[in-house]
Structure 1
Amino acid sequence: MDLELYFEASTRLGAAALCGLLIGINRDAHEKPAGMRTLALVALGAAIATLTALWIPGFGAEPDSMSRVLQGVIQGVLAGIGFIGAGAIMRLGRQGENVQGVTTAATVWVSAALGIACGMGAWPIVLIGVLLVFFILIVAKRIENWLLRQLLPEGEKGHPDRTEDSG
């Protein structure tokens, strides 16, 4: 039993779950359907799939094979997560003119991508990615609302005082 491997796996999987939990706090705070537990599981699942592909016995011996397997795993995870994200998107109104949940769907997808990065041990990408996610979810929303107040007349569709956060 190699304790270093267990430590490495625990670090990568734990970091993925933590990324999802942290992003989920924002979604829970806005009462969105995909919150802490959902996004933690998405990130953890993506990390598990990535880590499993990386640790196939004899995997590193053939770099071409390794890149094809990893490419397939990453594509499969991100495509599959798209279906979960699609479930978070709702079309409201008789004509479906009001679409909600797109930001939540995007957080599901980016949580999976961060899980893949954690599974690969790409720590600079994880750190910068998480920081950018929080900037986008917290700071960019305030900038967006301020710009809309400046550019749109009050009461016009899209004005932040008229509509709720549809993410």
Structure 2
Amino acid sequence: MLSNQEILIRMLVSLLVGLIIGYERSWNQKPAGVRTYSLVCIGSTLFMIISAYGLPGTSSHVIGFRLDPGRIAAQIVTGIGFLGAGVIWKDRGTIRGLTTAANLWVSAGLGMAIGAGMYFLTLVSVICIFLALYSSPILCRLGLLKYPPDEGGEN
């Protein structure tokens, strides 16, 4: 079982990561922002902590069946897929919100990593996320990638 201090650290790190990614998306006026990303990351962390540490006897057989902490983690991915589908819109032949949906999905992964205590993986992932988010505009400015002027290459 985790100590209260470790739970507090994981939840605060999760809040911070969600705020950072959500702030970037809010700053760029995208459909989901600070609150959404924070809640996705915090919720995923919460479910991972419950999954890995909150169920008694998760590594043993209880009353004829085996409890599997990985099942909750798998359901996080499913639930976020449903949430992400809600931000994807087709409008006049263009699809919008794919980057937001992918970002929500990866934010859930960050929350899961934090919940599992994988802080270094979280840090490396956040850096990779920002590199991915800012690579398109940079490549466009360099003339290596072209997007229609009204889309700017981002969703």
Give the shorter-chain TM-score range: 0.7 to 0.9
Name the SS for the 1:91 alignment partner: strand
Please give the per-residue CA displacement for 1:48-86, whole angstroms capped at 9, x wherever unaligned: 000001122233567xx56xx232111100111011111
* Unmatched runs of 5 consecutive residues or more in structure 1: 153-157
Counterpart CA distance in 2 for 1:137 and 1:151 is 14
- Counterpart selection for 1:164 from 130, 148, 152: 152
- Counterpart selection for 2:138 from 137, 143, 154: 143
One-letter amino acid of the counterpart of residue 17, structure 2: C
> Which structure dedicates a bigger proportion of its chain to helix?
1
Q: Matched residues, percent identical? A: 32
Q: Could you say what the CA RMSD is over the residues aligned between the two structures, in angstroms? A: 2.1
- Structure 1 segment 68-147 matched on structure 2, within 5 A: 69-93=68-92, 97-138=93-134, 140-146=135-141
Question: Quick check: 2:10–2:115 contact (8 Å CA) kept in 1?
Answer: yes
One-letter amino acid of the counterpart of residue 71, structure 1: G
Counterpart CA distance in 2 for 1:150 and 1:136 is 15
Counterpart CA distance in 2 for 1:146 and 1:89 is 26
* Unmatched runs of 5 consecutive residues or more in structure 2: none
> CA 1:124 to 1:150, structure 2 compared with 1: closer, same or farther past 3 Å?
closer
Counterpart CA distance in 2 for 1:52 and 1:85 is 23
Name the SS for the 1:88 alignment partner: coil
TM (norm. structure 2) is 0.86
Corresponding pairs, count: 150
Larger CA Rg, structure 1 vs 2: 1
> CA 1:120 to 1:164, structure 2 compared with 1: closer, same or farther past 3 Å?
same
- Structure 1 segment 54-65 matched on structure 2, within 5 A: 54-55=52-53, 56-60=55-59, 65=66
Question: Quick check: 1:47–1:118 contact (8 Å CA) kept in 2?
Answer: yes
One-letter amino acid of the counterpart of residue 127, structure 1: L
> CA 1:137 to 1:151, structure 2 compared with 1: closer, same or farther past 3 Å?
closer
> CA 1:151 to 1:78, structure 2 compared with 1: closer, same or farther past 3 Å?
closer
> CA 1:59 to 1:87, structure 2 compared with 1: closer, same or farther past 3 Å?
same
Counterpart CA distance in 2 for 1:45 and 1:111 is 10
